[in-house]
């Protein structure tokens, strides 16, 4: 048994640690000694038991020295700082496969990201690009798909995609985490697979609003199909291939996230449509709903590349401009865009 590292004790990080622990020893990193002691005392996380093969640590040096394969899974807002913390202990011999579905924004001259900001590809980084910028690690990958953490922890069947430019990274990832109830596929289009997982969170917020208003399965089918085209069109300007949006990490992840009340982004849309305010929703959530920030980023990118993104723009107005969900739905139903498939 090899020892594999996991950085992050959120719901998905813990689920990945449990999957890896079926065939490996796992070092699970948490930043604070208090959380380490709490989890060690109960050997569970939010009611889910930790596998006996999991050992907790709060030492970046220990994890990096004992593990050549590491899965960083922390929110995008803290991802760069986390990598900086580990950088003194990482070297080109390490393989990092992250599972974070968010973007890092680089503003020139430390300018503020505001309503008038127009972003280009030069202003954003995927988490794999953050790893390459901040560390000596070369072999980088991404893990993404229909991976709702609670279902994984319950042992229900699921699948994911390991994406990397390097076949060695894909093979290592598949070998380490594949099991009888967790299927793993490979891809060399890491940019496309990452962006599919990131931008699908936008559509998940909209799906939650549709569900809350009992608008039916026809409306949801329309949203998923139009949403796939919208995020694929935008992602082409960022270096992604359309094929990434048609597989497990694309439409597979989209369907799961847009159908489950265990999805944080779906929950945000559902609660907004029920009349709650965004600040109240964010304050009450245990973990980050990445889609909220992603809507702002996608809205700014669409302005730069002149991409027609009616769903994204409507959600932006609902989340940040106090437009009502009902007004947004009326706008989308009246929007004229006649061509069906226009992203392949």
The CATH code of the domain at 192-334 is 1.10.1040.10
- Whole-number Å distance between alpha carbons of 191 and 184: 18
* Residues 107 and 123 sit within 8 Å (Cβ to Cβ): yes
Q: 3-class SS at 55?
A: strand
Q: Place 286 in a pLDDT band, splitting at 50, 70 and 90.
A: confident
Q: Quick check: 60 and 89 in contact, CB under 8 A? A: yes
Per-residue pLDDT band for 107 (boundaries 50, 70, 90) equals confident
Residue spans of the domains in the chain: they are: 3-188, 192-334
Q: Which residues contact 139 (CB under 8 A, 6 or more apart)?
A: 92, 94, 95, 96, 164, 166, 168, 169
Is residue 44 scored above 90 in pLDDT? Answer: no
- CATH class for the region spanning 3-188: alpha beta
At 309 the pLDDT is 93
pLDDT (mean) for 274-282: 93
Nearest 5°: phi and psi at 53? Answer: -80, 0
Tell me how crowded residue 43 is: count the other CB atoms within 10 A of its CB. Answer: 12
**Helices and strands per DSSP (H, E), number in the chain:** 15, 12
What is the rounded end-to-end Cα distance, in angstroms, of the chain?
43
pTM: 0.94
Which tens digits make up the pLDDT trace of 128-175? Answer: 999 999 999 999 999 999 999 999 999 999 999 999 999 999 999 999
* Both tokens assigned to 311: 């769903």
CB within 8 Å of 334: residues ≥ 6 apart:
none
Of 192, 312, 204, whose CA–CA distance to 245 is shortest? 192
What value does the mean pLDDT take over residues 287-291? Answer: 91
Look-up of token digits 């989308």? 332
C-beta separation of 247 from 161 below 8 A: yes
Q: Among positive and negative, which fits the CA dihedral 295, 301, 304, 309?
A: negative
Q: Which of 33, 49, 200, 277 is catalytic?
A: 200
- The Cα 154–Cα 156 span in angstroms is 6
Q: How far is CA 12 from CA 147, 262, 310, in A?
A: 8, 12, 30
43-71 mean pLDDT: 92
pLDDT bucket at 334, cuts 50 / 70 / 90: confident
Is residue 175 annotated as a catalytic residue, yes or no?
Answer: no
Do 115 and 163 touch, CB atoms closer than 8 A? no
State the angle between helix axes of 325-334 and 310-320 in degrees (0 to 180), rounded to the nearest 10.
160
The rounded distance, in Å, linking the Cα atoms of 117 and 115 is: 6
Cβ pair 302, 121 in contact under 8 A: no
In which band, very low, low, confident or very high, does the pLDDT at 265 lie, cut at 50, 70 and 90? very high
Q: Per-residue pLDDT tens for 22-37?
A: 999 999 999 888 889 9
Give the dihedral sign, CA 294/296/298/300.
negative
Residue 228 pLDDT greater than 80, yes or no: yes
Contacts of 336 (CB under 8 A, 6+ apart): none
pLDDT at 338 over 70: no
Q: How far apart are CA 325 and CA 206, in angstroms?
A: 9
Give me the pLDDT at residue 332, please: 87
> If you average pLDDT over every residue of the chain, what do you get?
93
Domains 3-188 and 192-334 share a fold: no
Site of tokens 């107005």: 317
Confidence of residue 343 (pLDDT cuts 50, 70, 90): confident
Length of the chain equals 344
β-pair partners for 3: 25
Contacts of 122 (CB under 8 A, 6+ apart): 106
């Amino acid at each position: 048994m090899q020892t594999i590292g996991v950085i992050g004790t959120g719901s998905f990080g813990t689920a990945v640690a449990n999957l890896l622990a079926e065939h490996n020893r796992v070092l699970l990193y948490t930043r604070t000694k208090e959380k380490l002691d709490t989890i060690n005392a109960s050997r569970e996380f939010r009611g889910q038991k930790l596998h006996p093969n999991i050992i907790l640590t709060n030492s970046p040096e220990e994890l990096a020295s004992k593990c050549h394969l590491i899965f960083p899974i922390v929110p995008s807002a803290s991802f760069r700082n986390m990598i900086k913390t580990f950088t003194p202990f990482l070297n080109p011999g390490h393989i990092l496969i992250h599972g974070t579905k968010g973007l890092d924004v680089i503003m020139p001259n430390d300018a503020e990201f505001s309503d008038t900001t127009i972003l280009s590809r030069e202003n954003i980084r995927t988490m794999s690009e953050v790893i390459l910028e901040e560390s000596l690690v070369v072999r980088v990958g991404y893990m993404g798909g229909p991976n709702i953490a609670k279902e994984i922890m319950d042992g229900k069947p699921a699948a994911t995609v390991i994406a990397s430019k390097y076949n060695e990274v894909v093979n290592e990832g598949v070998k380490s985490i594949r099991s009888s109830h967790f299927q793993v596929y490979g891809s060399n289009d890491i940019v496309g697979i990452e962006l599919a997982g990131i931008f699908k969170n936008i559509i998940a917020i909209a799906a939650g609003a549709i569900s809350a208003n009992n608008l039916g399965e026809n409306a949801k089918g329309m949203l998923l199909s139009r949403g796939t085209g919208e995020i694929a069109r935008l992602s082409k300007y960022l270096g992604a291939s359309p094929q990434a949006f048609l597989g497990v990490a694309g439409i597979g992840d989209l369907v799961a996230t847009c159908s489950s009340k265990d999805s944080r982004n779906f929950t945000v849309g559902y609660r907004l449509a029920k009349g709650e305010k965004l600040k109240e929703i964010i304050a009450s959530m245990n973990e980050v709903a990445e889609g909220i920030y992603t809507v702002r980023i996608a809205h700014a990118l669409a302005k730069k590349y002149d991409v027609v993104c009616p769903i994204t723009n409507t959600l932006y107005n609902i989340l940040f401009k106090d437009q009502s969900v009902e007004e947004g739905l009326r706008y989308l139903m009246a929007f004229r865009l006649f061509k069906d498939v226009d992203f392949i």
